[in-house]
Amino acid sequence: MTVPLSEDHARALDAGDPLAALRAEFHVPLHEGREQAYFCGNSLGLQPRGARAHVEEVLEKWAHEAVEGHFRGQAQWMPYHELVAAPLAEVVGAEREEVVAMNSLTANLHLLMVSFYRPTAERPAILIEAGAFPSDRYAVESQIRFHGFDPATDLIEVAPDAPGGTVSMAAIEQAIERHGPRLALVLWPGVQYRTGQAFDVAAIARLAHTAGAIAGFDLAHAVGNLPLRLHDAGADFAVWCHYKYLNAGPGAVAGAFVHARHARTDRPRFAGWWGHEAVTRFRMGPRFAPTPGAEGWQLSNPPILGLAPLRASLDLFGRAGMAALRARSQRLTGYLEALVRDHLDDVLEILTPKDPAQRGCQLSLRVRAGRDAGRALFDHLSADGVLGDWREPDTIRISPAPLYNHHADVLRFARSALGWRQSQ
């Protein structure tokens, strides 16, 4: 049965869903007086309406309490990062002490590699996916060099072997087995940013551990997109940002996870005073005594203004619940997939896996006619108020976010793309 290109049908798909009402909690940018069909939550999530009040609370507190804002009244700055830790732990499936909001993603990746990438002459290598996000690749390569090893031999990249540039579990397994004795670290994405492929974090952690390596994860495109169970999955560490599906604003303070089994590790780390035990921090002693758990990796007192919007977003995740959000996400992305398959198959190839278990909300759509046609289609969509994002050389990424996208947005995408095809 073909999915109809009907607005009544699209509206009916949202009608019975209480989560559809959460769109009203966000600012949706306008295009010619009408709300955009915004599909860039994989890049910068929309602003929760509640974010402003949290930012203003900090500004007010600063104006009226100044330094005493650290330890007086509501939402004190000294323990401010703790306000987000419990809801964040919920979103990533961790214990409260396994997560911390701090720094930025790439900085956290470096800090955790300082502790969890400890290469030796026998075991110097890091395994990542080929075509990793550039920042991750730069970070990994520079760490290998920093330790005096050579990325040419010690950075192992697993090439895509499956349709759409995706990587099969078998390929990952083979690479880990083959290089096992030389692997210090397996660093893998939760969701690959270009293809939208989602990976089984627990299975990859198991394979890495069996090989005697550490299992680290970059969850930039997974957090707030997929239900995660980092503790049970056994990941050693993970890092992510909060400006994508977590809607905490441009350059928002990022996140990190360190498994409870490392809570009191004596591994080396780069230390700072905010990682020192809170109870004795202000004795200002010369000897560093880390807070047990992820908070022990903090360096500095955090940018409170950069953390404030995250509280608003986490409130919404708490209200919705990750399981319900995921169910809605699968309906939205399944609808997008069906519309493309039934009406746009001659224009767009879906690179993202068809198996819902192997993807989050994003579909990566390759424009069959190539780069120039792809750019023209992308511009046509944008001029219609349909905002996806463009990846060279020929791919449009469309990510319906279950917190604020409606089925009608997805329909607008399909209709606009069809309008472009008919004008060709």
Ligand X SMILES: *Cc1c(COP(=O)(O)O)cnc(C)c1O
Shortest distance, position 132 Cβ to ligand X, whole Å? 7
CB 187 within 8 A of CB 218: yes
Nearer to ligand X by Cβ, of 117 and 133: the residue is 133
Minimum CB separation of residue 1 from ligand X in Å reads 36
Q: How many helices (H) and strands (E) does the chain have?
A: 14, 17
Rounded least distance, CB 206 to ligand X, Å? 22
Which positions lie near ligand X, rule CB under 6 A? Answer: 104-106, 133, 135-136, 189, 193, 218, 220-221, 241
Smallest distance from the beta carbon of 410 to ligand X, in angstroms?
23
The 10 Å Cβ neighbour count of residue 154 is: 22
Residue 143 Cβ vs ligand X, minimum distance, rounded to whole Å: 15
76 vs 104, beta carbon nearer ligand X: 104
User: Which among 90, 83, 85 is positioned nearest to 100, based on CA atoms?
Assistant: 85
Cβ proximity to ligand X, 133 vs 335, nearer residue:
133
In contact, 347 and 367? CB cutoff 8 Å: yes
Q: Output 139 or 365, the one with its CB closest to ligand X.
A: 139
Residue 353 burial (CB count, 10 A): 18
Nearest distance from C-beta of residue 243 to ligand X, angstroms? 7
Q: Which two tokens stand for residue 319?
A: 């209200």
Question: What's the full length of the chain, in residues?
Answer: 424
- State the Cα–Cα distance between residues 415 and 14, nearest whole angstrom: 18
Query: In the 8-state DSSP scheme, what is residue 277?
Result: -
Q: Which is nearer to ligand X, 124 or 255 (CB)?
A: 255
Q: Which residues 6+ apart lie within 8 Å of 274 measured at CB? A: 102, 281, 298, 299, 300, 301, 302
Q: Closest distance between ligand X and the C-beta of residue 361, in Å?
A: 14
Helices in 227-283 by DSSP H: which ranges?
Answer: 230-233, 278-281
Provide the strand spans (E) within 241-362. Answer: 255-258, 348-350
Tokens of 407: 């089925």
User: Other CB atoms closer than 10 Å to residue 152's CB: what's the count?
Assistant: 8
Interatomic CA distance for residues 18 and 317, integer angstroms = 14
Least Å distance, CB 189 to ligand X, is 6
C-beta of 136 vs 337, nearer to ligand X: 136
Angle at which helix 169-179 crosses helix 201-210, to 10 degrees, equals 20
Calpha distance 350→161 (Å, rounded): 16
State the minimum distance, in angstroms, from the CB of residue 193 to ligand X: 4
Instruction: Give the list of residues 6+ apart from residue 4 with CB closer than 8 angstroms, or none.
Output: none
- Least distance (Å) from ligand X to the CB of residue 102? 12
When the beta carbons of 193 and 378 are compared against ligand X, the nearer one is: 193
**In angstroms, rounded to a whole number, what is the distance separating the alpha carbons of residues 313 and 25?**
10
Per-position DSSP letters for 105-162, written without gaps between them: HHHHHHHHHHHH----SSS-EEEEETT--HHHHHHHHHHHHHTT--HHHHEEEEPP-B
**What's the closest the beta carbon of residue 222 comes to ligand X, in angstroms?**
9
- Between residues 69 and 388, which has the closer beta carbon with respect to ligand X? 388
Q: Which is nearer to ligand X, 76 or 135 (CB)?
A: 135
Nearest CB to ligand X, comparing residues 25 and 136: 136
Cβ proximity to ligand X, 138 vs 282, nearer residue: 138
